[in-house]
Structure 1
Amino acid sequence: MVDADLVVEVTGAVATVVIRNPGRRNAMTPAMWRRLPVLLDGLESDPAVRVVVLTGADGTFCAGADLGDLDELLAAGDGSIAVAAEERLATFAKPTVAAVRGACVGGGCQLAVACDLRIAAADARFGVPPARLGLVYPAPTTHRLARLIGPAAAKHLLFTGELVAAERALRIGLVDEVLPDADLAARVDGLTGVIAERSQLSVAAAKEIVDGRADEERMAWWHGQVRVSGEAREGVAAFHERRAPRFGWTPPAAP
Protein backbone atom coordinates (compact mmCIF):
# COMPACT_ATOMS: atom_id res chain seq x y z
CA MET A 1 0.00 0.00 0.00
CA VAL A 2 1.25 3.51 -0.85
CA ASP A 3 1.89 5.62 2.25
CA ALA A 4 -0.07 8.82 2.85
CA ASP A 5 1.76 11.66 1.15
CA LEU A 6 1.63 14.71 -1.07
CA VAL A 7 2.95 13.98 -4.56
CA VAL A 8 4.20 16.71 -6.90
CA GLU A 9 3.95 16.32 -10.67
CA VAL A 10 5.34 19.06 -12.94
CA THR A 11 4.29 19.43 -16.58
CA GLY A 12 5.69 22.48 -18.30
CA ALA A 13 4.87 25.55 -16.23
CA VAL A 14 2.19 23.79 -14.14
CA ALA A 15 2.90 21.89 -10.93
CA THR A 16 0.19 19.56 -9.60
CA VAL A 17 0.16 18.65 -5.92
CA VAL A 18 -1.78 15.42 -5.41
CA ILE A 19 -3.24 14.59 -1.99
CA ARG A 20 -2.87 10.83 -1.50
CA ASN A 21 -3.94 8.76 1.48
CA PRO A 22 -5.23 5.38 0.28
CA GLY A 23 -7.99 3.91 2.39
CA ARG A 24 -8.74 7.20 4.19
CA ARG A 25 -10.30 9.11 1.28
CA ASN A 26 -7.16 11.27 1.11
CA ALA A 27 -7.51 12.60 4.66
CA MET A 28 -4.62 14.87 5.64
CA THR A 29 -2.29 13.44 8.29
CA PRO A 30 -0.11 15.66 10.53
CA ALA A 31 2.89 14.76 8.37
CA MET A 32 1.01 15.87 5.25
CA TRP A 33 -0.05 19.17 6.85
CA ARG A 34 3.60 19.84 7.74
CA ARG A 35 4.84 18.86 4.31
CA LEU A 36 2.54 21.15 2.33
CA PRO A 37 4.24 24.46 3.28
CA VAL A 38 7.64 22.94 2.49
CA LEU A 39 6.46 21.87 -0.95
CA LEU A 40 4.94 25.28 -1.59
CA ASP A 41 8.16 27.04 -0.61
CA GLY A 42 10.03 25.01 -3.22
CA LEU A 43 7.44 25.60 -5.93
CA GLU A 44 7.29 29.32 -5.22
CA SER A 45 11.07 29.65 -5.64
CA ASP A 46 11.10 27.65 -8.89
CA PRO A 47 10.93 30.15 -11.79
CA ALA A 48 9.80 27.42 -14.19
CA VAL A 49 6.56 26.89 -12.23
CA ARG A 50 3.89 29.49 -12.94
CA VAL A 51 0.69 27.82 -11.71
CA VAL A 52 -0.05 25.19 -9.05
CA VAL A 53 -2.98 22.78 -9.15
CA LEU A 54 -4.13 21.05 -5.96
CA THR A 55 -6.12 17.85 -6.37
CA GLY A 56 -6.74 14.45 -4.82
CA ALA A 57 -5.88 10.93 -5.93
CA ASP A 58 -8.35 8.31 -7.12
CA GLY A 59 -11.44 10.45 -7.62
CA THR A 60 -11.55 12.08 -4.18
CA PHE A 61 -10.21 15.51 -3.29
CA CYS A 62 -9.79 15.24 0.48
CA ALA A 63 -12.07 13.98 3.25
CA GLY A 64 -10.52 16.34 5.82
CA ALA A 65 -8.05 15.93 8.65
CA ASP A 66 -7.17 12.41 9.75
CA LEU A 67 -9.20 12.25 12.98
CA GLY A 68 -6.98 9.46 14.26
CA ASP A 69 -4.54 12.25 15.13
CA LEU A 70 -7.18 14.62 16.52
CA ASP A 71 -5.46 15.44 19.82
CA GLU A 72 -2.54 17.17 18.12
CA LEU A 73 -4.86 19.40 16.11
CA LEU A 74 -7.12 20.21 19.08
CA ALA A 75 -4.26 21.20 21.37
CA ALA A 76 -3.01 23.87 18.98
CA GLY A 77 -6.35 25.59 18.22
CA ASP A 78 -5.90 28.37 15.67
CA GLY A 79 -2.15 27.73 15.80
CA SER A 80 -2.54 24.24 14.38
CA ILE A 81 -0.43 22.81 11.59
CA ALA A 82 -3.59 22.65 9.47
CA VAL A 83 -4.14 26.40 9.78
CA ALA A 84 -0.45 27.05 9.08
CA ALA A 85 -0.65 24.96 5.89
CA GLU A 86 -3.83 26.73 4.82
CA GLU A 87 -2.28 30.16 5.39
CA ARG A 88 0.82 29.22 3.40
CA LEU A 89 -1.39 28.08 0.53
CA ALA A 90 -3.46 31.26 0.68
CA THR A 91 -0.37 33.49 0.57
CA PHE A 92 1.42 31.48 -2.14
CA ALA A 93 2.67 34.05 -4.65
CA LYS A 94 1.57 32.21 -7.78
CA PRO A 95 -1.94 31.30 -8.95
CA THR A 96 -3.46 28.18 -7.40
CA VAL A 97 -6.34 26.09 -8.74
CA ALA A 98 -8.20 23.38 -6.82
CA ALA A 99 -9.40 20.60 -9.13
CA VAL A 100 -12.11 18.86 -7.11
CA ARG A 101 -13.62 15.42 -7.56
CA GLY A 102 -15.64 13.56 -4.97
CA ALA A 103 -15.48 14.51 -1.31
CA CYS A 104 -14.08 17.94 -0.40
CA VAL A 105 -14.84 18.05 3.31
CA GLY A 106 -13.45 19.72 6.42
CA GLY A 107 -9.73 20.18 5.97
CA GLY A 108 -10.16 19.42 2.29
CA CYS A 109 -12.66 22.24 1.89
CA GLN A 110 -10.30 24.39 3.95
CA LEU A 111 -7.53 23.80 1.38
CA ALA A 112 -9.82 24.33 -1.61
CA VAL A 113 -11.05 27.65 -0.23
CA ALA A 114 -7.43 28.76 0.27
CA CYS A 115 -6.80 28.32 -3.47
CA ASP A 116 -7.44 31.17 -5.90
CA LEU A 117 -9.84 29.22 -8.12
CA ARG A 118 -11.91 26.07 -7.70
CA ILE A 119 -13.02 23.90 -10.62
CA ALA A 120 -15.26 20.98 -9.70
CA ALA A 121 -16.50 17.80 -11.31
CA ALA A 122 -20.25 17.24 -11.18
CA ASP A 123 -19.81 14.52 -8.53
CA ALA A 124 -17.99 16.81 -6.09
CA ARG A 125 -19.47 17.26 -2.62
CA PHE A 126 -18.49 19.98 -0.16
CA GLY A 127 -18.94 20.18 3.58
CA VAL A 128 -17.70 21.84 6.75
CA PRO A 129 -18.45 19.38 9.57
CA PRO A 130 -17.34 20.92 12.93
CA ALA A 131 -20.92 21.12 14.27
CA ARG A 132 -21.27 17.36 13.69
CA LEU A 133 -18.06 16.71 15.63
CA GLY A 134 -18.23 19.23 18.47
CA LEU A 135 -15.31 21.26 17.10
CA VAL A 136 -14.76 24.98 16.59
CA TYR A 137 -13.60 25.86 13.09
CA PRO A 138 -10.46 28.06 13.25
CA ALA A 139 -11.05 31.81 12.97
CA PRO A 140 -8.79 32.37 9.92
CA THR A 141 -10.51 29.49 8.13
CA THR A 142 -14.00 30.70 9.04
CA HIS A 143 -13.25 34.27 7.94
CA ARG A 144 -11.83 33.09 4.61
CA LEU A 145 -14.92 30.96 3.94
CA ALA A 146 -17.26 33.86 4.80
CA ARG A 147 -15.35 36.26 2.55
CA LEU A 148 -15.67 33.82 -0.33
CA ILE A 149 -19.35 32.86 -0.12
CA GLY A 150 -20.87 35.46 2.22
CA PRO A 151 -21.96 35.25 5.86
CA ALA A 152 -25.32 33.51 5.36
CA ALA A 153 -23.99 30.72 3.14
CA ALA A 154 -21.00 30.24 5.46
CA LYS A 155 -23.29 29.99 8.47
CA HIS A 156 -25.46 27.43 6.72
CA LEU A 157 -22.47 25.20 6.03
CA LEU A 158 -21.07 25.69 9.54
CA PHE A 159 -24.37 25.34 11.43
CA THR A 160 -25.57 22.22 9.63
CA GLY A 161 -22.42 20.37 8.63
CA GLU A 162 -24.38 19.16 5.61
CA LEU A 163 -22.75 18.16 2.35
CA VAL A 164 -23.71 20.29 -0.63
CA ALA A 165 -23.62 19.18 -4.24
CA ALA A 166 -21.41 20.79 -6.85
CA GLU A 167 -24.26 22.73 -8.48
CA ARG A 168 -25.24 24.32 -5.19
CA ALA A 169 -21.57 25.05 -4.46
CA LEU A 170 -21.51 26.89 -7.78
CA ARG A 171 -24.61 28.92 -6.92
CA ILE A 172 -23.19 30.13 -3.60
CA GLY A 173 -19.78 30.93 -5.06
CA LEU A 174 -17.88 28.12 -3.38
CA VAL A 175 -16.66 26.92 -6.79
CA ASP A 176 -16.11 28.80 -10.04
CA GLU A 177 -17.08 26.12 -12.57
CA VAL A 178 -18.72 22.69 -12.59
CA LEU A 179 -18.07 20.23 -15.40
CA PRO A 180 -18.69 16.57 -16.19
CA ASP A 181 -15.96 14.47 -14.64
CA ALA A 182 -14.63 13.48 -18.05
CA ASP A 183 -14.08 17.15 -18.94
CA LEU A 184 -12.43 18.32 -15.72
CA ALA A 185 -8.81 17.51 -16.57
CA ALA A 186 -8.97 19.17 -19.98
CA ARG A 187 -10.57 22.30 -18.52
CA VAL A 188 -7.96 22.58 -15.77
CA ASP A 189 -5.18 22.06 -18.32
CA GLY A 190 -6.65 24.74 -20.56
CA LEU A 191 -7.19 27.23 -17.76
CA THR A 192 -3.73 26.80 -16.23
CA GLY A 193 -2.17 26.94 -19.69
CA VAL A 194 -3.78 30.32 -20.34
CA ILE A 195 -2.69 31.68 -16.95
CA ALA A 196 0.87 30.45 -17.51
CA GLU A 197 1.02 32.32 -20.84
CA ARG A 198 -0.04 35.66 -19.36
CA SER A 199 2.30 38.27 -17.93
CA GLN A 200 3.38 36.87 -14.60
CA LEU A 201 3.96 40.42 -13.39
CA SER A 202 0.30 41.25 -14.01
CA VAL A 203 -0.90 37.98 -12.50
CA ALA A 204 1.22 38.23 -9.35
CA ALA A 205 0.28 41.87 -8.77
CA ALA A 206 -3.42 41.14 -9.30
CA LYS A 207 -3.32 38.33 -6.75
CA GLU A 208 -1.75 40.55 -4.10
CA ILE A 209 -4.17 43.41 -4.77
CA VAL A 210 -7.32 41.26 -4.78
CA ASP A 211 -6.18 39.54 -1.58
CA GLY A 212 -5.62 42.92 0.11
CA ARG A 213 -1.89 42.43 0.65
CA ALA A 214 -0.58 45.32 -1.47
CA ASP A 215 -0.15 48.53 0.53
CA GLU A 216 0.84 51.90 -0.95
CA GLU A 217 4.55 51.10 -0.85
CA ARG A 218 4.01 47.73 -2.50
CA MET A 219 1.85 49.29 -5.23
CA ALA A 220 4.64 51.75 -5.99
CA TRP A 221 6.99 48.76 -6.30
CA TRP A 222 4.64 47.00 -8.71
CA HIS A 223 4.28 50.08 -10.91
CA GLY A 224 8.08 50.36 -10.89
CA GLN A 225 8.31 46.77 -12.09
CA VAL A 226 6.02 47.62 -15.01
CA ARG A 227 8.31 50.49 -16.00
CA VAL A 228 11.60 48.59 -15.82
CA SER A 229 10.48 45.17 -17.04
CA GLY A 230 9.27 46.05 -20.52
CA GLU A 231 6.20 43.85 -20.03
CA ALA A 232 3.73 46.54 -21.04
CA ARG A 233 5.73 47.53 -24.13
CA GLU A 234 5.89 43.88 -25.21
CA GLY A 235 2.19 43.36 -24.58
CA VAL A 236 1.15 46.43 -26.57
CA ALA A 237 3.57 45.59 -29.40
CA ALA A 238 2.21 42.04 -29.60
CA PHE A 239 -1.36 43.39 -29.70
CA HIS A 240 -0.59 45.69 -32.63
CA GLU A 241 1.40 43.01 -34.44
CA ARG A 242 -1.32 40.41 -33.85
CA ARG A 243 1.05 37.88 -32.32
CA ALA A 244 1.42 36.13 -29.00
CA PRO A 245 3.35 38.26 -26.49
CA ARG A 246 6.72 37.08 -25.26
CA PHE A 247 6.52 37.96 -21.58
CA GLY A 248 9.66 37.34 -19.56
CA TRP A 249 9.23 38.89 -16.12
CA THR A 250 10.18 36.76 -13.14
CA PRO A 251 10.10 37.89 -9.49
CA PRO A 252 13.37 39.53 -8.43
CA ALA A 253 15.42 37.55 -5.94
CA ALA A 254 14.78 38.56 -2.34
CA PRO A 255 17.52 40.82 -0.95
Structure 2
Amino acid sequence: MSDAELTVTVTGPVATVVIRNSARRNAMTPGMWRQLPVLLDGLEADRAVRALVLTGADGTFCAGADLGDLDELLEAGDGSIAVAAEERLAAFAKPTVAAIEGACVGGGCQLAVACDLRLATADARFGVPPARLGLVYPAPTTRRLAGLVGPSAAKHLLFTSELVDADRALRIGLVDEVLPADALAARVDAVTTAVAERSQLTVTAAKEIIDGRADDARIAWWHGQVRASGEAREGVAAVNGRRPPRFTWTPPAAG
Protein backbone atom coordinates (compact mmCIF):
# COMPACT_ATOMS: atom_id res chain seq x y z
CA MET A 1 0.00 0.00 0.00
CA SER A 2 1.34 3.43 -0.94
CA ASP A 3 1.73 6.04 1.76
CA ALA A 4 1.71 8.84 -0.83
CA GLU A 5 -0.68 11.53 0.36
CA LEU A 6 -1.13 15.12 1.39
CA THR A 7 -2.02 15.64 5.04
CA VAL A 8 -3.52 18.74 6.62
CA THR A 9 -3.38 20.11 10.14
CA VAL A 10 -4.88 23.38 11.33
CA THR A 11 -3.39 25.11 14.36
CA GLY A 12 -5.19 28.31 15.24
CA PRO A 13 -5.32 30.45 12.09
CA VAL A 14 -2.60 28.52 10.22
CA ALA A 15 -3.15 25.44 8.05
CA THR A 16 -0.21 23.20 7.19
CA VAL A 17 -0.25 20.90 4.17
CA VAL A 18 2.45 18.22 4.28
CA ILE A 19 3.65 16.36 1.16
CA ARG A 20 4.23 12.69 2.09
CA ASN A 21 5.64 9.99 -0.19
CA SER A 22 8.48 8.36 1.68
CA ALA A 23 9.28 5.85 -1.05
CA ARG A 24 9.93 8.61 -3.62
CA ARG A 25 11.38 11.49 -1.57
CA ASN A 26 7.93 13.10 -1.48
CA ALA A 27 7.43 13.06 -5.23
CA MET A 28 3.92 14.13 -6.22
CA THR A 29 1.81 11.27 -7.58
CA PRO A 30 -1.21 11.82 -9.87
CA GLY A 31 -3.48 11.26 -6.89
CA MET A 32 -1.65 13.91 -4.88
CA TRP A 33 -1.86 16.45 -7.72
CA ARG A 34 -5.62 15.84 -7.88
CA GLN A 35 -5.94 16.01 -4.09
CA LEU A 36 -4.28 19.41 -3.68
CA PRO A 37 -6.97 21.63 -5.29
CA VAL A 38 -9.67 19.86 -3.25
CA LEU A 39 -7.79 20.53 -0.02
CA LEU A 40 -7.20 24.15 -0.99
CA ASP A 41 -10.89 24.69 -1.77
CA GLY A 42 -11.81 23.57 1.73
CA LEU A 43 -9.12 25.62 3.46
CA GLU A 44 -9.97 28.74 1.47
CA ALA A 45 -13.62 28.42 2.54
CA ASP A 46 -12.62 28.07 6.22
CA ARG A 47 -12.77 31.60 7.61
CA ALA A 48 -10.70 30.60 10.64
CA VAL A 49 -7.69 29.89 8.37
CA ARG A 50 -5.66 33.01 7.64
CA ALA A 51 -2.42 31.52 6.26
CA LEU A 52 -1.22 28.27 4.72
CA VAL A 53 2.13 26.51 5.00
CA LEU A 54 3.20 23.94 2.40
CA THR A 55 6.05 21.64 3.42
CA GLY A 56 7.41 18.13 3.01
CA ALA A 57 7.74 15.25 5.43
CA ASP A 58 10.98 13.90 6.87
CA GLY A 59 13.37 16.66 5.85
CA THR A 60 12.57 16.75 2.13
CA PHE A 61 10.23 19.23 0.47
CA CYS A 62 9.46 17.43 -2.80
CA ALA A 63 11.78 15.69 -5.24
CA GLY A 64 9.51 16.19 -8.24
CA ALA A 65 6.55 14.63 -10.00
CA ASP A 66 5.84 10.97 -10.57
CA LEU A 67 6.46 10.51 -14.30
CA GLY A 68 5.14 6.96 -14.45
CA ASP A 69 2.51 7.61 -17.14
CA LEU A 70 4.56 9.47 -19.72
CA ASP A 71 1.97 9.17 -22.49
CA GLU A 72 -0.65 10.87 -20.33
CA LEU A 73 1.82 13.62 -19.44
CA LEU A 74 2.75 14.26 -23.08
CA GLU A 75 -0.89 14.33 -24.16
CA ALA A 76 -1.93 16.78 -21.44
CA GLY A 77 0.69 19.47 -22.11
CA ASP A 78 -0.24 22.66 -20.25
CA GLY A 79 -3.56 21.04 -19.32
CA SER A 80 -1.92 18.61 -16.91
CA ILE A 81 -3.15 17.93 -13.40
CA ALA A 82 0.16 19.33 -12.11
CA VAL A 83 -0.45 22.69 -13.78
CA ALA A 84 -4.04 22.72 -12.51
CA ALA A 85 -2.81 22.13 -8.95
CA GLU A 86 -0.12 24.80 -9.31
CA GLU A 87 -2.61 27.34 -10.63
CA ARG A 88 -5.02 26.61 -7.77
CA LEU A 89 -2.23 27.10 -5.25
CA ALA A 90 -1.15 30.37 -6.87
CA ALA A 91 -4.76 31.61 -6.81
CA PHE A 92 -5.33 30.66 -3.15
CA ALA A 93 -6.86 33.77 -1.61
CA LYS A 94 -4.85 33.66 1.61
CA PRO A 95 -1.08 34.01 2.10
CA THR A 96 0.95 30.87 1.40
CA VAL A 97 4.42 29.99 2.67
CA ALA A 98 6.62 27.16 1.38
CA ALA A 99 8.81 25.77 4.18
CA ILE A 100 11.61 24.03 2.31
CA GLU A 101 14.12 21.45 3.48
CA GLY A 102 16.26 19.21 1.31
CA ALA A 103 15.25 18.60 -2.31
CA CYS A 104 12.92 21.08 -3.98
CA VAL A 105 13.09 19.88 -7.56
CA GLY A 106 10.81 19.75 -10.60
CA GLY A 107 7.23 19.55 -9.42
CA GLY A 108 8.39 20.52 -5.94
CA CYS A 109 9.97 23.71 -7.24
CA GLN A 110 6.80 24.28 -9.27
CA LEU A 111 4.73 24.22 -6.06
CA ALA A 112 7.19 26.34 -4.09
CA VAL A 113 7.21 29.05 -6.76
CA ALA A 114 3.40 29.10 -6.71
CA CYS A 115 3.50 30.08 -3.02
CA ASP A 116 3.72 33.71 -1.91
CA LEU A 117 6.82 33.27 0.27
CA ARG A 118 9.58 30.67 0.41
CA LEU A 119 11.68 30.02 3.52
CA ALA A 120 14.43 27.42 3.20
CA THR A 121 17.04 25.66 5.26
CA ALA A 122 20.71 25.95 4.35
CA ASP A 123 20.75 22.36 3.05
CA ALA A 124 17.91 22.95 0.55
CA ARG A 125 18.60 22.29 -3.13
CA PHE A 126 16.57 23.56 -6.07
CA GLY A 127 16.32 22.40 -9.65
CA VAL A 128 14.12 22.56 -12.74
CA PRO A 129 14.98 19.42 -14.77
CA PRO A 130 12.79 19.26 -17.94
CA ALA A 131 15.85 19.69 -20.22
CA ARG A 132 17.19 16.41 -18.78
CA LEU A 133 13.94 14.72 -19.82
CA GLY A 134 13.18 16.34 -23.18
CA LEU A 135 10.02 17.99 -21.86
CA VAL A 136 8.71 21.51 -22.39
CA TYR A 137 8.12 23.17 -19.02
CA PRO A 138 4.50 24.38 -18.89
CA ALA A 139 4.05 27.97 -20.07
CA PRO A 140 2.27 29.21 -16.89
CA THR A 141 5.00 27.63 -14.77
CA THR A 142 7.80 29.09 -16.91
CA ARG A 143 6.31 32.58 -16.76
CA ARG A 144 5.81 32.37 -13.00
CA LEU A 145 9.43 31.28 -12.50
CA ALA A 146 10.75 34.06 -14.76
CA GLY A 147 8.58 36.62 -12.98
CA LEU A 148 10.11 35.57 -9.67
CA VAL A 149 13.82 35.25 -10.49
CA GLY A 150 14.09 37.19 -13.77
CA PRO A 151 14.61 35.93 -17.33
CA SER A 152 18.34 35.21 -17.06
CA ALA A 153 18.16 33.16 -13.88
CA ALA A 154 15.10 31.31 -15.18
CA LYS A 155 16.95 30.46 -18.39
CA HIS A 156 19.94 29.20 -16.40
CA LEU A 157 17.73 26.91 -14.33
CA LEU A 158 15.83 25.63 -17.37
CA PHE A 159 18.71 25.40 -19.85
CA THR A 160 21.14 23.57 -17.54
CA SER A 161 18.86 21.59 -15.20
CA GLU A 162 21.58 22.17 -12.59
CA LEU A 163 20.79 22.02 -8.91
CA VAL A 164 21.45 25.26 -7.08
CA ASP A 165 22.10 25.59 -3.38
CA ALA A 166 20.15 27.71 -0.93
CA ASP A 167 22.61 30.62 -1.03
CA ARG A 168 22.31 30.94 -4.80
CA ALA A 169 18.54 30.54 -4.55
CA LEU A 170 18.52 33.46 -2.13
CA ARG A 171 20.70 35.63 -4.39
CA ILE A 172 18.45 35.15 -7.42
CA GLY A 173 15.24 35.64 -5.46
CA LEU A 174 14.02 32.06 -5.62
CA VAL A 175 13.73 32.04 -1.82
CA ASP A 176 13.14 34.86 0.64
CA GLU A 177 15.15 33.62 3.62
CA VAL A 178 17.71 30.89 4.35
CA LEU A 179 17.85 29.56 7.90
CA PRO A 180 19.60 26.88 9.94
CA ALA A 181 17.62 23.65 9.93
CA ASP A 182 16.69 24.00 13.59
CA ALA A 183 15.37 27.54 13.07
CA LEU A 184 13.01 26.97 10.15
CA ALA A 185 9.92 25.92 12.07
CA ALA A 186 10.14 28.84 14.49
CA ARG A 187 10.63 31.35 11.68
CA VAL A 188 7.71 29.95 9.69
CA ASP A 189 5.58 30.17 12.83
CA ALA A 190 6.67 33.78 13.42
CA VAL A 191 5.90 34.82 9.83
CA THR A 192 2.49 33.14 9.69
CA THR A 193 1.56 34.45 13.14
CA ALA A 194 2.40 37.99 12.03
CA VAL A 195 0.36 37.58 8.84
CA ALA A 196 -2.61 36.19 10.77
CA GLU A 197 -2.55 39.15 13.18
CA ARG A 198 -2.56 41.81 10.47
CA SER A 199 -5.62 43.27 8.77
CA GLN A 200 -6.94 40.57 6.48
CA LEU A 201 -8.40 43.31 4.29
CA THR A 202 -4.91 44.69 3.67
CA VAL A 203 -3.33 41.28 3.19
CA THR A 204 -6.00 39.92 0.83
CA ALA A 205 -6.11 43.08 -1.26
CA ALA A 206 -2.31 43.25 -1.48
CA LYS A 207 -2.10 39.65 -2.71
CA GLU A 208 -4.72 40.26 -5.41
CA ILE A 209 -3.09 43.47 -6.61
CA ILE A 210 0.49 42.15 -6.61
CA ASP A 211 -0.61 39.02 -8.47
CA GLY A 212 -2.32 41.13 -11.14
CA ARG A 213 -5.81 39.81 -10.42
CA ALA A 214 -7.44 43.14 -9.53
CA ASP A 215 -8.72 45.46 -12.26
CA ASP A 216 -9.66 49.11 -11.67
CA ALA A 217 -13.18 48.21 -10.55
CA ARG A 218 -11.86 45.66 -8.08
CA ILE A 219 -9.32 48.11 -6.66
CA ALA A 220 -12.12 50.66 -6.20
CA TRP A 221 -14.09 47.96 -4.39
CA TRP A 222 -11.16 47.36 -2.06
CA HIS A 223 -10.97 51.04 -1.17
CA GLY A 224 -14.70 50.94 -0.50
CA GLN A 225 -14.11 48.06 1.89
CA VAL A 226 -11.59 50.18 3.78
CA ARG A 227 -14.13 52.99 4.20
CA ALA A 228 -16.98 50.67 5.17
CA SER A 229 -15.11 48.30 7.47
CA GLY A 230 -13.50 50.69 9.94
CA GLU A 231 -10.23 48.78 9.66
CA ALA A 232 -8.14 51.90 9.11
CA ARG A 233 -9.76 53.75 12.02
CA GLU A 234 -9.08 50.77 14.26
CA GLY A 235 -5.48 50.56 13.09
CA VAL A 236 -4.80 54.24 13.76
CA ALA A 237 -6.56 54.08 17.14
CA ALA A 238 -4.43 51.08 18.11
CA VAL A 239 -1.21 52.87 17.15
CA ASN A 240 -2.22 56.01 19.03
CA GLY A 241 -3.36 53.98 22.04
CA ARG A 242 -0.24 51.81 21.98
CA ARG A 243 -2.30 48.63 21.98
CA PRO A 244 -2.70 45.69 19.61
CA PRO A 245 -5.29 46.33 16.89
CA ARG A 246 -8.56 44.44 16.86
CA PHE A 247 -9.12 43.87 13.16
CA THR A 248 -12.44 42.20 12.31
CA TRP A 249 -12.79 42.30 8.51
CA THR A 250 -13.36 38.94 6.85
CA PRO A 251 -13.84 38.25 3.14
CA PRO A 252 -17.45 38.19 1.96
CA ALA A 253 -18.85 34.70 1.49
CA ALA A 254 -18.36 33.34 -2.01
CA GLY A 255 -21.37 33.76 -4.27
With the shorter chain as reference, the TM-score category is: over 0.9
Query: Structure 1 regions of 5+ residues with no counterpart?
Result: none
1:68 positional shift: 1.7
Query: Structure 2: which amino acid aligns with 1:81?
Result: I
Q: CA–CA distance in 2 between the matches of 1:249 and 1:2?
A: 42
Q: CA–CA distance in 1 between the matches of 2:138 and 2:59?
A: 27
Number of the residue aligned with 1:175: 175
Q: CA–CA distance in 2 between the matches of 1:73 and 1:235?
A: 50
The range that moved more, 207-216 or 1-10, is 1-10
1:2 positional shift: 5.9
Stretches of 4+ aligned residues off by more than 4 angstroms: none
Number of the residue aligned with 1:27: 27
SS at match of 1:67: coil
Q: CA–CA distance in 2 between the matches of 1:215 and 1:73?
A: 34
SS at match of 1:89: helix
Query: Structure 2: which amino acid aligns with 1:70?
Result: L
The range that moved more, 66-75 or 29-38, is 66-75
The answer to whether the aligner puts 1:73 opposite 2:73 as a matched pair is yes
Q: CA–CA distance in 2 between the matches of 1:48 and 1:73?
A: 37
SS at match of 1:27: coil
Number of the residue aligned with 1:224: 224
Number of the residue aligned with 2:201: 201
For residues 53-72 of structure 1, the aligned pairs below 5 Å read 53-72=53-72
For residues 15-164 of structure 1, the aligned pairs below 5 Å read 15-164=15-164
Query: Structure 1: which amino acid aligns with 2:45?
Result: S
Q: CA–CA distance in 2 between the matches of 1:73 and 1:35?
A: 17
Q: CA–CA distance in 2 between the matches of 1:120 and 1:73?
A: 29
Q: CA–CA distance in 1 between the matches of 2:254 and 2:189?
A: 30
- Identify if the C-alpha distance between structure 1 residues 241 and 2 changes in structure 2 by more than 3 Å, giving closer, same or farther: farther
Q: CA–CA distance in 2 between the matches of 1:69 and 1:50?
A: 36
Q: CA–CA distance in 2 between the matches of 1:71 and 1:32?
A: 19
Q: What is the TM-score of this pair, normalised by structure 2?
A: 0.98
Number of the residue aligned with 1:5: 5
Query: Structure 1: which amino acid aligns with 2:242?
Result: R
Q: CA–CA distance in 1 between the matches of 2:206 and 2:38?
A: 24
Q: CA–CA distance in 1 between the matches of 2:128 and 2:81?
A: 18
Q: CA–CA distance in 2 between the matches of 1:17 and 1:149?
A: 25
Query: Structure 2 regions of 5+ residues with no counterpart?
Result: none
Number of the residue aligned with 1:244: 244
1:254 positional shift: 2.3
1:253 positional shift: 1.1
1:69 positional shift: 3.0
RMSD over aligned CA atoms reads 0.9
String of CA shifts for 1:71-111, please: whole Å, max 9, x gaps: 32221000000000000000110000000000000000000
Q: What is the TM-score of this pair, normalised by structure 1?
A: 0.98
Q: Does structure 2 retain, via aligned residues, the 8 Å contact 1:120–1:184?
A: yes
1:67 positional shift: 1.6
- Pairs aligned (count): 255
Q: CA–CA distance in 2 between the matches of 1:254 and 1:227?
A: 21
Query: Structure 1: which amino acid aligns with 2:211?
Result: D
Q: Does structure 2 retain, via aligned residues, the 8 Å contact 1:30–1:69?
A: no
1:23 positional shift: 1.0
Q: Does structure 2 retain, via aligned residues, the 8 Å contact 1:99–1:120?
A: yes
Q: CA–CA distance in 2 between the matches of 1:13 and 1:128?
A: 33
Q: CA–CA distance in 1 between the matches of 2:82 and 2:47?
A: 27
